[in-house]
Amino acid sequence: MPAPLDTERLAEALRLVRARIDAAASAAGRDPAGVALLAVSKTWPAEDVRALVGLGLRDFAENRVQELTGKAAALADLTDLRWHLVGQLQRNKAAAVVRLGATVHSVDRLRLVEALSRAAEQEGRQTGVFVQVDLGGPEGELGARGGAVPAEVPALADAVAAAPGLQLRGLMAVAPRDADPAPAFARLAELSARVRADHPGATAVSAGMSGDLQAAVAAGATVVRVGTALFGSRPIASREESATDPVRPHESHQHHR
Ligand SMILES: *Cc1c(COP(=O)(O)O)cnc(C)c1O
């Protein structure tokens, strides 16, 4: 992993992200306090997370269970930190995630609901769950970015709501790459309203990343998941722990996704 970022740089990146959220909320006539910032720390060192906790952030997300458990162990002294999983989860790793008290944003199938519920009961902890929705690719094709197809989402939400140990928080989605995110976020908002009709507590909408958070906030997102705009561009071969130095914010022009 790369060397930790300078705290002053992180503070500046955090200020810029908060300013973007505030501006988007104001433009949409929304209270900025209704939009939570989830920092996606995948590929970045635990010390960057520690620095952001020092700057007031509490919610952090990873997309791989192994990295999540490693970072959580390295930061176990920070008792008010909340972990989230935003990547694919295998059933045999459900217990490890539940044990951390993490919220799972990527629930997309019934068998995973069952595994998480079993783990939550065994561990004796309530686990927050988002149902991930597949909003399709640039041409509307499904399967591009993970999640349950929209037609299956209400039934999946019912299953989460009925599962012991699980709390249905709402819906999560990733907008299609290389396409206008607004129509996709509008479909997500519609689906969220349908789910809320049956589950009034499932008010959360986890949508929007570094490149499209304004569009997500305009469409009603209550959680934005931001990596690049806080930490810089991820190394391309991040899975292989690339030896090359990744680009960090302010060292070069940042790109979004
Ligand atoms: C990596 C990731 C993010 C953050 O993306 P950025 O473009 O770096 O802000 C958000 N959501 C999910 C599901 C991710 O995997």
The secondary structure of 30-53, three-state, reads CCHHHCEEEEECCCCCHHHHHHHH
- Average pLDDT of the chain is 91
Instruction: Decide if 58 contacts 31 (C-beta within 8 A).
Output: no
Ligand 1 contact, 191 CB (< 6 A): no
What pLDDT does 251 receive? 44
pLDDT band at 248 (very low <50, low <70, confident <90, very high): low
pLDDT band at 237 (very low <50, low <70, confident <90, very high): low
Task: Provide the Cα torsion 31, 32, 36, 38; round to 10°.
Answer: 160
* For the CA of 228, the nearest atom of ligand 1: 8
Ligand 1 contact, 257 CB (< 6 A): yes
Residue nearest to atom 7 of ligand 1 (CA): 210
Q: Domain for residue 150, yes or no? A: yes
Residue nearest to atom 12 of ligand 1 (CA): 86
The CATH number given to whatever domain includes residue 209 is: 3.20.20.10
Arithmetic mean of pLDDT, 83-104: 97
- Is residue 125 scored above 50 in pLDDT? yes
More confident residue, 123 or 136: 123
pLDDT band at 139 (very low <50, low <70, confident <90, very high): confident
Q: How many domains does the chain have?
A: 1
More confident residue, 254 or 60: 60
What pLDDT does 5 receive? 76
* For the CA of 256, the nearest atom of ligand 1: 7
What pLDDT does 245 receive? 44
State the residue for tokens 């349950």: 148
pLDDT in tens, 3-16: 777 899 999 999 99
Crossing angle of the two packed helices 153-162 and 110-123, in degrees rounded to 10: 20
* For the CA of 213, the nearest atom of ligand 1: 9
Out of 14, 16, 38, 40, mutate this one to test ligand 1's pocket (max ligand atoms within 8 Å of CB): namely 40
Q: Is the dihedral of CA 116, 119, 120, 121 positive or negative?
A: positive
What pLDDT does 256 receive? 40
Ligand 1 contact, 146 CB (< 6 A): no
Beta strands in 203-248 (DSSP E): 204-206, 223-226
pLDDT band at 250 (very low <50, low <70, confident <90, very high): very low
Arithmetic mean of pLDDT, 81-88: 97
What pLDDT does 68 receive? 98
Can you give the pTM of this predicted structure?
0.90
**How far from 8 is each of 50, 80, 176, CA to CA, in Å?**
13, 22, 33
Arithmetic mean of pLDDT, 178-188: 94
DSSP 3-state of 133: strand
Q: Please count the other Cβ atoms lying within 10 Å of the Cβ belonging to residue 240.
A: 8
Residue nearest to atom 4 of ligand 1 (CA): 227
pLDDT band at 142 (very low <50, low <70, confident <90, very high): confident
What pLDDT does 22 receive? 98
Residue nearest to atom 13 of ligand 1 (CA): 86
- CA 144, CA 76: separation in Å to the nearest integer? 35
More confident residue, 241 or 123: 123
Out of 205, 209, 256, mutate this one to test ligand 1's pocket (max ligand atoms within 8 Å of CB): namely 209
What pLDDT does 4 receive? 76
Show the domain range for 204. Answer: 7-232
* For the CA of 209, the nearest atom of ligand 1: 9
Instruction: Decide if 257 contacts 177 (C-beta within 8 A).
Output: yes
Q: Domain for residue 192, yes or no? A: yes
- CA 132, CA 21: separation in Å to the nearest integer? 22
Ligand 1 contact, 228 CB (< 6 A): yes
Out of 86, 104, 234, mutate this one to test ligand 1's pocket (max ligand atoms within 8 Å of CB): namely 86
pLDDT band at 136 (very low <50, low <70, confident <90, very high): confident
Tokens of residue 141, six digits: 């094709």
DSSP 3-state of 234: coil
Beta strands in 64-123 (DSSP E): 82-85, 103-107
Q: Domain for residue 111, yes or no? A: yes
- Is residue 60 scored above 60 in pLDDT? yes
Ligand 1 contact, 86 CB (< 6 A): yes
